[in-house]
């Protein structure tokens, strides 16, 4: 008869809070940011993607590509209709790129015929995009369905960070600055997420809340007889201690990376919770405008486990989400 097993799974979180200084914007030169290439995948001229791109500060030299894909699934086998759809798409991207240009940004329009899931990521890689911004399209279950159709596919296949853009709530529309929730577990992908925040240009009065994730994988412990009863609590304590140290290490690393930017970083507080639930709940609590996290963590297979945390956050968050790889 198989030995009974006691499964222990502990998750420790550590929170910190930091504030961007009240200077107008942190000087780009101090951040050593290279010129950026940002691909904006849109459906219409008044896309939230365009509105958010317009409203944010960007490093000097940032170039935007406004892209719309004429979906062959709708027009395949109908060449005349494809031509009409392409003409409409060209008008849409020109309108959108003109909006960016009038706002002082450098932008150009790109229209292609194909399948959005593939066309967006393929062109982004060919062009050398540093960031893709794509709309979430809808709310609740519809969001998840459509996210799985296009944005989710872009999240999985893109070579660069992807931001799933959602409308800014009315309560935050007139707010100064951006509230960012930065989730990190100290892994390589999390370090890149921290770098992403550190290297961007944010408006004055922006806020960053650091959620440091020190998650432990489930550990199976034999429980045969009373000789195993005493060590288990000690093991739980040890696992908690290690997770806490890991969280502290992630916070320390993030602080070190963010220090040159002039961000003020406050002390952290430990939490015990599920990664997805903690990130989503914390985003609501702090009224985050943007969640930033790595595509996978310490225990992940990049594409598979991204669906477990990063994809779940991107699909269920009420604010925009940037997934960094």
Assess whether 151 and 273 both reside in one domain.
Answer: no
> Which of the listed residues 149, 169, 189 is the one where a domain comes to its end?
169
Assess whether 182 and 325 both reside in one domain.
Answer: yes
Q: What residues have CB less than 8 Å from 156, skipping those under 6 apart?
A: 303, 306, 307, 311
What is the average pLDDT score of the chain? Answer: 77
Number of domains comprising the chain? 2
Q: Provide the residue range defining the domain that includes 300.
A: 1-20+177-325
Assess whether 211 and 275 both reside in one domain.
Answer: yes
CA distance 284 to 274: 15
Helix-helix angle 231-258:188-199, to 10 degrees: 30
DSSP string, 133-194: EEE--SSHHHHHHHIIIIIHHHHHH-SS-EEEE-PPPHHHHT-SS-EEEEEE-SSHHHHHHH
pLDDT band at 181 (very low <50, low <70, confident <90, very high): very high
Query: pLDDT at residue 246 above 70?
Result: yes
Query: What pLDDT, on the 0 to 100 scale, is given for residue 13?
Result: 36
Segment 170-183 mean pLDDT? 79
Query: What pLDDT, on the 0 to 100 scale, is given for residue 30?
Result: 39
Residues in the chain: 325
% the chain with pLDDT above 90: 36
* Tens of pLDDT, residues 153-166: 899 899 999 999 99
Q: What residues have CB less than 8 Å from 244, skipping those under 6 apart?
A: 12, 14, 214, 270
Assess whether 164 and 182 both reside in one domain.
Answer: no
* Tens of pLDDT, residues 135-148: 987 444 444 434 55
The reply to whether 26 falls in a domain is no
Q: What residues have CB less than 8 Å from 263, skipping those under 6 apart?
A: 18, 19, 20, 21, 208
> Which of the listed residues 137, 169, 201 is the one where a domain comes to its end?
169
Assess whether 123 and 217 both reside in one domain.
Answer: no
Assess whether 81 and 144 both reside in one domain.
Answer: yes
Determine how many CB atoms are found less than 10 A away from the CB of residue 127. 14
Helix segments in the chain, DSSP class H: 28-31, 48-55, 72-75, 79-102, 116-127, 140-146, 152-157, 170-173, 188-199, 231-258, 275-285, 302-306, 310-316
| Residue 131, strand partner residues | 38
Assess whether 4 and 121 both reside in one domain.
Answer: no
Assess whether 8 and 74 both reside in one domain.
Answer: no
Assess whether 119 and 237 both reside in one domain.
Answer: no
Assess whether 86 and 133 both reside in one domain.
Answer: yes
The reply to whether 68 falls in a domain is yes
Beta strands 219-222; 264-265: pairing state: unpaired
* Tens of pLDDT, residues 37-68: 999 999 887 789 999 999 899 999 999 999 99
Query: What pLDDT, on the 0 to 100 scale, is given for residue 220?
Result: 52
Query: What pLDDT, on the 0 to 100 scale, is given for residue 233?
Result: 63
| Residue 210, strand partner residues | 16, 182
Report whether 288 contacts 277 (CB < 8 A). Answer: no
Tell me, what DSSP letter sits at residue 308? T
Domain harbouring 60, CATH code: 3.40.50.620
The reply to whether 25 falls in a domain is no
């Amino acid at each position: 008869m198989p030995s009974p097993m006691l499964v222990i799974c502990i998750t420790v979180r550590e929170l910190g809070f930091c504030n961007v200084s009240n200077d107008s914007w942190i000087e780009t030169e101090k951040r050593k940011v290279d010129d950026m290439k940002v691909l904006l995948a849109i459906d219409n001229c008044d896309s939230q993607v365009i509105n958010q791109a317009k409203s944010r500060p960007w490093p000097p030299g940032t170039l935007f590509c406004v892209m719309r894909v004429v979906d062959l699934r709708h027009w395949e086998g109908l060449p005349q209709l494809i031509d009409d759809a392409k003409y409409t798409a060209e008008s849409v991207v020109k309108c959108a790129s003109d909006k960016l240009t009038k706002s002082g940004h450098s932008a150009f329009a790109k229209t292609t015929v194909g399948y959005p899931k593939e066309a967006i990521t393929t062109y982004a890689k060919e062009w050398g995009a540093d960031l893709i911004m794509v709309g979430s399209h809808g709310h609740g279950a519809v969001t998840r369905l459509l996210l799985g159709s296009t944005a989710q596919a872009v999240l999985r296949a893109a070579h660069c960070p992807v931001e799933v853009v959602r409308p800014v709530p009315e309560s935050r529309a007139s707010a100064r600055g951006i509230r960012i929730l930065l989730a990190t577990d100290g892994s390589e992908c999390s370090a890149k997420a921290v770098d992403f925040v550190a290297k961007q240009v944010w408006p004055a009065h922006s806020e960053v809340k650091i959620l440091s994730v020190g998650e432990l994988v489930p550990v199976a412990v034999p429980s045969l007889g009373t000789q195993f009863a005493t060590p288990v609590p000690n093991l739980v304590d040890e696992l908690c201690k290690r997770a806490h140290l890991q969280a502290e290490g992630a916070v320390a690393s993030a602080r070190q990376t963010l220090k040159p930017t002039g961000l003020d970083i406050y002390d952290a507080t430990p939490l015990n919770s599920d990664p997805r639930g903690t990130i989503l709940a914390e985003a609501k609590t702090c009224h985050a405008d943007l969640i930033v996290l790595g595509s996978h963590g310490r225990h992940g297979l990049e594409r598979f486990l991204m669906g477990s945390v990063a994809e779940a956050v991107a699909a269920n968050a009420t604010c925009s989400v940037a997934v960094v790889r």
